[in-house]
Amino acid sequence: MTFTFKNLSADRDDLRVDVLTGLAASPKSIPPKYFYDEAGCRLFEAICAQPEYVLCRTEQALMRSRLPDIAAAIGAVDCIVEPGAGDCVKVRRLLDALHPGQLVVMDIAGAPLAAAAEPLSRDYPDLAVTALGMDFLHDLEAAAPHLPAGRRLIYYPGSSIGNFPPDAATALLARFRRLAGADGQLLIGFDLKKDPQRLHAAYNDAAGVTAAFNLNLLVRLNRELGADFDPARFSHYAFYNPVAGRIEMHLVSLAEQDVSVAGERFHFALGETLHTEHSYKFRCDEFSTMARNAGWQWSAEWTQDGFAVQLYR
C-alpha cells in the first residue's frame, strides 16, 4: 500500500562524539551500534549464514514451528513496531500470521533499512509501511508521532537485547513499554545460556566473518572520521565470560601504536583492547525478572535449541 521513509537522525554528530569519548576512556570502547554501516549490515547477514552462528536459524525455526501458537497468544494487533529491524526478513512471518494494517521499522542504518522495507509495501498491498532511520537509544520517543493509535506489538528479535548490560536492558524494555501504550505487547527473542564452547564457536566462525565484521568498525572510522587505523595491527578477540554471562568482543592491539581519529591522537599499548560488543545470554527466569522490572507482564514463552521467544503484555 504505502511506503514512507523518514531519516530522524540526519543532522546528528553522535559517531564522532561517542568514538572520541570511548577512545579516551579506560578501557577503550565503542558502542556496538556503530558496527552497522552498509558493509557492516552485509557482514551481519553473512554472519547469520555461518554454520557456527546458529542463533538466527534457530530463532527462525522456532518462529516457523510455533507460529500458530504465537499468533494465537498475541491475538489481534493493529501495528507492529520493530526497533533495529535490519534486513526486515523476520517480521514477514508475523505479517503473514497477524495481518496488521501498519508496520513501523526503525534502524540506525537508514539507507539499508529503506532498501529492505520498501519491498514489504509491494508484497503486502494492505500494509502501510513506515521506515524510520534513527538511533532508538538516543530518541526512541521520536518514533511515537509516527505510530498509529490501536493495539501495538513491539517485536525485538535476534537477541539484540543482549547487547545491553542488565540495567540498560531494563531501561530500554521500559521505554518499549511506554511506546507500546496501554494495550501494547512485546514479542522478544533472546539467546539462552548454554555450553560455553558452542557460544565461543558462534563468535569465532572458521571463515572469519565475525572477525571481518568487528574489524570493519576500524575501516568505517577511517572513512567517516578521517582515522588512520591499520586493521592488520588489531586482532578480533571474542570469548564467553561465564561469570558475567556474556560474550565479550574486543579488538586487541597487536603493537604499541598511536592512532589519529578526527584530529585527535590515541595511544594503544601492546595488547590493549578496544571493547566493541557485549552479547549477554540469559535463562528464561532471569529475562522475565528483568522484563517485570521494566513494567511488563509475562504472557507466554517458547524455547527451542537454546533460544527463547517470550511474549509480554
Residues that bind ligand SAM (CB under 6 A): 33, 36, 41, 44, 84-86, 90, 106-109, 135-137, 157-158, 160
CA dihedral 220, 172, 248, 211 (to 10 degrees): -30
Closest to ligand SAM by CB, 253 or 279: 279
User: Can you state the angle between helices 166-180 and 284-293, rounded to 10 degrees?
Assistant: 60
CB of 44 to ligand SAM, least distance (A): 5
Which lies closer to ligand SAM via its Cβ, residue 83 or residue 184? 83
Nearer to ligand SAM, 139 or 230 (CB): 139
Q: How far is the CB of 157 from ligand SAM (least distance, A)?
A: 4
Is-contact 121 91, C-beta < 8 A? Answer: no
Beta bridge partners of 273: 252
Which residue's CB comes closest to ligand SAM? 158
Nearer to ligand SAM, 137 or 142 (CB): 137
Are 286 and 293 in contact by the 8 Å Cβ rule? The answer is no
Task: Supply φ then ψ for residue 112, to 5 degrees.
Answer: -60, -35
State how far the Cα of 291 lies from the Cα of 70, in Å rounded to an integer. 18
**Closest separation between CB of residue 296 and ligand SAM, Å?**
19
Cell 518462529, located at residue: 63
Least distance from C-beta 264 to ligand SAM, angstroms?
24
Closer to ligand SAM by Cβ: residue 28 or 90: 90
Cell numbers 586493521 label which residue? 231
User: Distance between CA atoms of 134 and 62, rounded to whole angstroms?
Assistant: 29
How near is the Cβ of 277 to ligand SAM at its closest, in Å? 10
Nearer to ligand SAM, 140 or 294 (CB): 140
Smallest distance, Å, CB 41 to ligand SAM? 6
Residue 40 Cα to chain centre, angstroms: 12
Let me know how long the chain is: 313
- Closest approach of ligand SAM to the CB of residue 276, in Å: 13
Nearer to ligand SAM, 134 or 259 (CB): 134
Q: For residues 190 and 311, is the Cβ–Cβ distance under 8 A?
A: no
Strands (E) in 98-144, as ranges, are 102-107, 128-133
Q: How far apart are CA 47 and CA 289, in angstroms?
A: 30
